[in-house]
Amino acid sequence: MSEVKNTKNQAAQAEGILREPSGEQKESGTGGKKEDCDRNIRYRGNVYQETLGQLSVPLKDDITVMWKDGKAREQEVPMPGFGKWRDPADFIIRHTYDIWDDKGMGKIYDHYKHNALVHTSDGVTYGRDQVIANSVMKLAGYPDIKDYIDDVIWASDGNGGFHTSMRWTWIGHNTGHTIYGPPTGRKVVVWGVANCYVKGDRVVEEWVVYNEISLIRQLGYDPMKVLEATANKGGSAKADTGTWGEIERLNGEFAPDRFGDNNGRYSDIEYFIRKSYHEIYNRRMFNQFKDNYAPDYRYHGPSDRELVGRGDFLQDQLNLFQAFPNLAMQVEDVYYLYDEKRDEYRCATRWNIIGTHEGFGIYGPATGAHVVISGISQHIIKDGMFREEWSIYDEFALMRKLAQKRMAMKDNTDGAGNDDGLKA
């Protein structure tokens, strides 16, 4: 992987691209049409923290620096339809503060589209009124909640919209009722990631994943008992219908396809991410961990996993292959920012793992359940290697799906036994 490191030239190119009208195509010097802005902005990664003066959440800029007065603040990244926002990170930070820290739940009417879609492990909710209802229920459980933003990675779609990936940590005391039970009075610290597509000053679509098992533990509950209780309820929007198709990883009886050469389709960074995921998860090339991950790799994962070193990370990922031997990886979206001060790339990748629980291991005996694991990862890439990762998927929802399958299997077995008794 080779990215040109002439940051002055790249930054100038980036600023030129970002300031072009988003809805037009311009004639090139050879008379041909210019590529769509979408491809120029999104896949070349020409967005530079230092040169364009963007907010730097990872560098922990003081809140008084990040929170400039609106009249004194210059709009540093053109945002069609956004007007008052400094850049997409500014939009995300401010609307999160308005809604949670300032408890302005009604601001959701201003910041979300009327028919916004929100994807969670429990399914898809439709409309901002449902967003408000769910948010109020959460606030009632943790009235003193504070939402801290750890990073915002973003990219333009070249058509007036932006993709954002916000990693957050919220802190609060459970002094109200929650879906898990009555108030416990306990302090909880929970992290997660929310990816959004924003257009015209509104969130159009959102994907939210958080560390639910950690929350349950911090509230003082036994996750296995909560799992049993919630599995009995069922009714998930992603409940198993009993019908599914073939997991398309293999090419008939042949080996999985190679990812292939780039040929200008992606930037070097996106190509590196997509190819690494495909080679490791679809082609089982586990040697890629050694080639693409730093020896001192740090991994922050679901259920409070904190791993140091690529050996521990490899073991953690092998646990998934053991439980779901036919798993296939689908990368849904990739975007990133270049951090000039640290000379590294901050990347956001949204993905799905599809598989059948046919193996043993950390999730217990095989159930045959067909699962879709949806997750979001934020990576630090430096010197051609993955250096650090925050990766989250709802492991509790996955375990609930397997528990529901076990209960269904038990009911079928008990029913068959009763039938045999009647026939006898």
- Summarised one tens digit per residue, pLDDT across range 212-239 is 999 999 999 999 999 988 877 654 434 4
| CA angle (261 as vertex; 256, 264 as ends), nearest 5 | 135
Q: Rounded to whole angstroms, how far apart are CA atoms 169 and 101?
A: 12
Percent of the chain with pLDDT over 90: 60
Task: Please check whether residues 161 and 305 belong to one and the same domain.
Answer: no
Task: Please check whether residues 273 and 351 belong to one and the same domain.
Answer: yes
Give how far the C-alpha of residue 305 lies from the chain's centroid of Cα atoms, to the nearest Å. Answer: 17
Residue 66's contacts (CB-CB under 8 Å, 6 or more residues apart) are: 55, 57, 90, 93
Q: Rounded to whole angstroms, how far apart are CA atoms 337 and 57?
A: 12
Average pLDDT, stretch 360-370? 94
Q: How many domains does the chain have?
A: 2
Q: pLDDT digits over 89-128, tens only?
A: 888 998 899 999 999 999 999 999 999 999 998 889 999 9
In a domain? residue 5: no
Q: What is the mean pLDDT of the chain?
A: 80
Q: pLDDT digits over 61-76, tens only?
A: 544 444 444 333 444 5
Q: Rounded to whole angstroms, how far apart are CA atoms 342 and 295?
A: 19
Task: Please check whether residues 278 and 153 belong to one and the same domain.
Answer: no
413 token code pair? 């077995």
* φ, ψ (nearest 5 deg) of residue 66: -70, -30
Q: Rounded to whole angstroms, how far apart are CA atoms 163 and 355?
A: 28
pLDDT for position 308: 97
In a domain? residue 254: no
DSSP 20: S
CB atoms within 10 A of CB 198: 28
CB atoms within 10 A of CB 125: 19
| CA angle (99 as vertex; 203, 207 as ends), nearest 5 | 40
Q: Rounded to whole angstroms, how far apart are CA atoms 291 and 274?
A: 15
| Domain final residue pick, 197, 226, 255 | 226
Task: Please check whether residues 311 and 394 belong to one and the same domain.
Answer: yes
The domain spanning residue 102 has which CATH number? 3.10.450.50
Q: Rounded to whole angstroms, how far apart are CA atoms 335 and 45?
A: 8
Radius of gyration of the chain (CA): 23
| Domain final residue pick, 193, 226, 259 | 226
pLDDT for position 167: 97
In a domain? residue 417: no
Task: Please check whether residues 206 and 275 belong to one and the same domain.
Answer: no
What is the extent of the structural domain holding 107? Answer: 52-226
The alpha carbon torsion through 261, 265, 266, 268 (nearest 10 deg) reads 50
